[in-house]
């Protein structure tokens, strides 16, 4: 959670909010910004000089040092803000002006330091509202982070790196010094993001160049932390049932290229595009929900010395989501979702294991969604308790399992299923050592016998093994309505009886 607290302490410098007609002085703004800088317990902030008049606050030489508070990592990040000027605009609002160039250094190990700098062009922040609830409005042409040089005794290579954000605008609302991030709302729009990375080692003749561009970026966050100060200090109990976090980003079309050359592997070329991607994180009512996905994927890989042909793959959607409770002994909804939609690979890959083209090569889809209720026996946000979890026999319990979606379509097989079960943790005798389940599940498979025939024709399955497999399938299924269709139903009743297609097997 420390990276998230670091995000909180810096969010006021990135996002901004629409003006509201009220009075906020430069001194009010500086008090809030200073509190935001010092919010994270993982950072040490040193301020050089502060000069104040009724219409201007001038701050010089701010140094921020962030370390791993646990002491387990040598990573250290140092950032400098040479100056901040906060001017009264004469209409009840103030303008914040940062230095155009801000140095940053990242020490990975003693003697291994990367020196970077952040540059901004025509970036302005207009602050309005009142001292207890400030509104920031931000706009700018460009913010760039680039690598200047690297101090290293172990790396002897030429390295370049830059990340540029163009056409920025944003809105945010942040509490004053007494209630920082107890109620925060912000949004940042970026026209495009460009990343360029290059490395060249003259001694080994190895080099790599990566270029990536994304358009139409949107970062958004809504945070309500009644115990924000305790959370910032690392108190896990601060994330109580009243805490709410809703944050994430979305990207429009993205393009990535990678070119590598080495004496051993020759040249490698990777081209990647997608039509959009997103990531989100939510925390509400003692449960968290995290999801990520990408649409319209098109990938190609070509390395002549590794493979004599290019590898290509596409997908309409690749996504996943996980939800679970986070509070100790508080039952909440959990979920797991994985989707791979219309995935294809090039024929040259198919031909490696199916040169006779026996298997259907239609796009493959896998869609799985599980949900239910569960709880932890530990506070998973507390590092001390998570260590205890590793020693526990069962870290928590699941009281229900729902198979909301099960759909598989690949190599001529189409399978769908659903089901729902409850688990009785007071009965560990009916199924010794496990909570007693009760519920049912249903499965429909089309094309299964055809797939088995194809595997025999390819030599991947012997007729004898196939016969044994078909006998097992016949025991647990019955014919469906189609020519190669099978259905199966599983029921576990309240007495603990297990029935398959109405026949009791336990």
- φ, ψ at 201 (rounded to 5°): -110, 105
Structure tokens at 177: 């010094």
The two tokens of residue 72 are 């387990």
Number of residues that make up the chain = 506
Element (H, E) at 157: none
Q: Name residues whose C-beta falls within 8 Å of residue 483's C-beta, 6 or more positions apart in sequence.
A: none
**In the structure encoding, which two tokens stand for residue 322, read together?**
């996980």
Positions in the chain whose pLDDT score sits under 50: 1-22
Six token digits for residue 134: 């400030």
Element (H, E) at 453: helix 448-457
Q: How many angstroms separate the CA atoms of 229 and 41, rounded? A: 10
Residues 6 or more apart in contact with residue 169 via CB below 8 angstroms = 138, 139, 140, 188, 189
Calpha distance 48→37 (Å, rounded): 14
The alpha carbon of residue 335 and the mean position of all alpha carbons in its chain are separated, in whole angstroms, by 16
DSSP type of residue 309: S
Q: What is the pLDDT of residue 234?
A: 61
State the pLDDT at residue 178: 67
CA distances to 58, 380, 426, 473 from 377, in Å: 51, 9, 16, 40
Residue ranges per domain, the chain?
Answer: 1-175+194-201, 412-506
CB 196 within 8 A of CB 22: no
Integer-rounded Cα Rg, in Å, for the chain is 29
Backbone angles phi, psi at 57, to 5 degrees: -120, 125
- Residue 401, SS3 per DSSP: strand
Name the residue with tokens 């006998």.
471
311-325 and 332-345 strand pairing: antiparallel
pLDDT confidence of residue 418: 97
| Closest of 407, 440, 410, 409 to residue 337, by C-alpha | 407
* pLDDT value of residue 229: 63
Q: How many helical (H) and strand (E) elements, i.e. helices and strands, does the chain have?
A: 7, 27
- CA dist., res. 325 & res. 394, Å (int): 15
Residue carrying structure tokens 């995290």: 290
Beta-bridge mates of residue 415: 408, 445
Report helix, strand or coil for 446: strand
Q: What are phi and psi for residue 317, nearest 5 degrees?
A: -155, 140
Q: Are 204 and 257 in contact (CB under 8 A)?
A: no
DSSP of 117-160, one letter per residue? EEEEES-EEEEEEETTEEEEEEEEEEEEEEEEEEE-SS--SEEE
d(CA 146, CA 160) in angstroms, rounded, equals 8
Gap between the Cα atoms of 212 and 55, Å rounded: 43
Q: Quote the CA–CA distance of 311 and 257 in Å, as a whole number.
A: 15
* Nearby residues of 439 by Cβ (< 8 Å), 6 or more positions away: 401, 419, 420, 421, 422, 491, 492
């Amino acid at each position: 959670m420390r990276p998230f607290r670091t995000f909180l302490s810096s969010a006021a410098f990135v996002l901004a909010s629409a003006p509201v007609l009220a009075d906020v002085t430069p001194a009010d703004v500086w008090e809030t910004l200073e509190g935001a800088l010092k919010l994270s317990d993982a950072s040490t902030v040193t301020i050089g000089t502060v000069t104040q008049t009724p219409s201007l606050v001038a701050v010089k030489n701010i140094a921020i040092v962030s370390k791993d508070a646990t002491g387990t990592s040598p990573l250290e990040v140092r950032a400098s803000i040479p100056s901040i000027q906060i001017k009264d605009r004469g209409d009840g609002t103030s303008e914040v002006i940062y230095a155009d160039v801000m140095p940053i250094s990242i020490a990975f190990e003693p003697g291994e330091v990367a020196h970077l700098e952040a540059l901004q062009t025509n970036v302005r922040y207009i602050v309005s509202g009142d001292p207890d609830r400030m509104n920031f409005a931000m706009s700018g042409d460009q913010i760039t982070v680039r690598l200047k040089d690297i101090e290293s005794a172990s790396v002897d290579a030429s390295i370049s790196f830059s990340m540029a954000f163009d056409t920025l605008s944003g809105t945010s609302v942040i509490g004053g010094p007494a209630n920082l991030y107890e109620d925060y709302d912000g949004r940042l729009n970026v026209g495009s993001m460009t990343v360029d990375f290059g490395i060249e080692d003259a001694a080994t003749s190895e080099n790599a160049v990566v270029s990536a561009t994304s358009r139409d970026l949107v970062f958004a966050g809504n945070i309500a932390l009644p115990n924000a100060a305790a959370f910032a200090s690392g108190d896990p109990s601060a994330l109580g049932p009243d805490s709410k976090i809703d944050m994430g980003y979305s990207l429009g079309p993205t393009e990535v290229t990678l070119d590598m050359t080495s004496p051993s592997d020759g040249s490698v070329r990777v081209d990647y595009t997608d039509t959009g991607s997103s990531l989100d994180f939510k925390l509400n009512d003692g449960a968290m929900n995290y999801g990520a996905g990408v649409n319209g994927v098109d990938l190609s890989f070509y390395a002549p010395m590794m493979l004599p042909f290019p590898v290509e793959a596409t997908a309409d959607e690749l996504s996943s989501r996980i939800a679970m409770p986070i509070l100790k002994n508080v039952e909440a909804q959990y979920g797991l979702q994985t989707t791979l939609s219309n995935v294809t690979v090039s024929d040259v890959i198919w031909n490696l294991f199916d040169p006779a083209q026996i298997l259907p090569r239609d796009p493959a889809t896998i869609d799985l969604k599980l949900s239910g209720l569960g709880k932890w026996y530990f506070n998973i946000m507390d590092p001390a308790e998570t260590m205890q979890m590793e020693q526990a026999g069962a870290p928590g319990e699941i009281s229900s399992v729902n198979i909301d979606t099960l759909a598989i379509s690949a190599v001529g097989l189409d399978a769908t299923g659903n089901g729902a079960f409850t688990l009785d943790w007071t009965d560990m005798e009916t199924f010794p050592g496990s909570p007693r389940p009760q519920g049912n599940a249903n499965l429909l498979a089309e094309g299964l016998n055809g797939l088995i025939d194809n595997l025999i024709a390819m030599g991947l399955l012997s007729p004898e093994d196939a016969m044994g497999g078909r006998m097992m399938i016949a025991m647990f299924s019955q014919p469906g309505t189609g020519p190669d269709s099978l259905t199966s139903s599983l029921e576990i009743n309240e007495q603990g009886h297990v029935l398959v297609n109405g026949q009791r097997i336990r």
